[in-house]
Amino acid sequence: MKLKSVIYLISMMTLAGCSGQKQASVAVEEQSGQWILGPFVRPEGVNPVISPQPTTFQCPMRKQPVRWEESDTFNPAATVKDGKIVVLYRAEDNSAQGIGKRTSRIGYAESTDGVTMSQADAPVLFPSEDDFKEIEWEGGCEDPRVAMTEDGLYVMLYTAWNRNLPRLAVATSRDLKNWTKHGLAFAKAYNGRFANIASKSASIVTGVKDGRLVIEKVAGKYFMYWGENAVCAATSDNLTDWAPVLNENNELREIAKPRSGYFDSRLTECGPPAIKTVNGIVLLYNGKNGYKEERDPAYPAGAYCAGQFLFDANDPYKVLDRLDKPFFVPEAAFEKSGQYKDGTVFIEGLAYFKNKLYLYYGCADSQVAVAICDDNIDSKLKTHN
């Protein structure tokens, strides 16, 4: 749908070609009610905040030491624990060449300021000699999103990749370092009907309570948006077993889809945990531009830029509004060079820390960076005690 009024975007680099010329701040349409979260601003001189390291780890799958984050570190989750931001990121070894052909493991980094990161020497979630070999070997564990319950249980939705079929899987932890795997998110629903469909990118609905961003129920159930080819939904009673929401034809209910002529003409891939605000539920997502006539010519073909949806808090399937222009685009050189050279700011991690929102994102499938929103953000979030 078209927005009717205008908001600002942060200054951004031109995306056409390789000139690197700085553009002036660009006016984008502004939503009445000011529901959009932002602006998210890259702090100067700190990005990328996580980069590949040569550390080794005794891999239970390979039965030998592996430089598990030697090639690329990207697509991060983020949360808060004990006064620190913790970033859980996808790391790839150098076992092969090409996107999706290496083994991915989930690394751990923490920060007291959200910017200066201390990376752990070993991954915290990885393919192992366990009950989940069939879904994780040899592609591994990819693209985590993490959210926390009120009582301090951390829930991770990640992509289990066996190099045949990507599927959403669940893990839980109390300390963010030791994780219990629960298997496929959709394994039990509808007698296993959706256990073997391609699925990824799950964004659990959260809200701010007592100064923390925590998982909240919608109409008595836990609720998540998921998917990349369209925004779908799923509900749960226990956070580990999820049932995809179906339409009147007993098929997956597609709440929103890519749009021809827009920055999200190819994909609408869910980003970090959705968040309740005073205006409704805001879902940040990753829009992929198309390659042919369906693309938005203002952005490179195949580029990933970030958008926002506003859903009705009482009817989470109802789209109230949607940005027609991205609020975040590939700008820096390292966001446009790496494994994915068409340009990528792939948002997955959102942390509420010291009254600011910290947005962590993957840069060209190669490194991790951060952007921060402190522009009176508490006036937009729906907070309660």
DSSP 77-124: EEEEETTEEEEEEEEE-SSSSSTTSS-EEEEEEEESSSSS-EE-SS-S
Residue 31 confidence (pLDDT): 43
Q: What span, in angstroms and rounded, lies between the C-alpha atoms of 16 and 19?
A: 8
Q: In this structure, is residue 143 part of a structural domain?
A: yes
Token duo for residue 50: 């996580």
Distances (CA, A) of 316 to 27, 79, 219, 274, 276: 29, 23, 9, 11, 11
- In this prediction, residue 98 carries a pLDDT of 79
pLDDT for position 3: 39
Q: What CA–CA distance (Å, rounded) separates 364 from 73?
A: 10
In a domain, 18, yes or no: no
Determine the 3-state secondary structure of 146 from DSSP.
strand
Q: Is 124 part of any domain?
A: yes
Q: Residue 49, SS3?
A: coil
- Residue 136 included in any domain: yes
Instruction: Give residue 383's pLDDT.
Output: 76
- Domain of 269, in residue numbers: 54-379
Supply the pLDDT for residue 385.
Answer: 65
pTM: 0.92
Total domains in the chain come to 1
Q: What letter would DSSP give residue 69?
A: T
Specify if 43 maps to a domain: no
Instruction: Write the DSSP symbol of residue 190.
Output: G
Domain for residue 46, yes or no? no
Query: 10-residue block means of pLDDT along the chain (385 residues)?
Result: 36 35 33 80 97 98 97 98 98 87 96 98 98 98 98 98 98 98 98 98 97 97 98 98 98 98 98 97 98 96 98 97 97 92 96 97 97 91 77
- Residue 71 located in a structural domain: yes
Q: Which helix (H) or strand (E) holds 133?
A: helix 133-136
Please report, for residues 104, 107, 168, the alpha-carbon distance to residue 100 in angstroms, rounded to integers and kept in the order given: 9, 17, 16
- Asked, for residue 49, whether it belongs to a domain, the answer is no
CATH number of the domain at 304, please: 2.115.10.20
Strands 206-209 and 383-384: parallel
- H-run or E-run covering 134: helix 133-136
Q: How far apart are CA 39 and CA 18, in angstroms?
A: 25
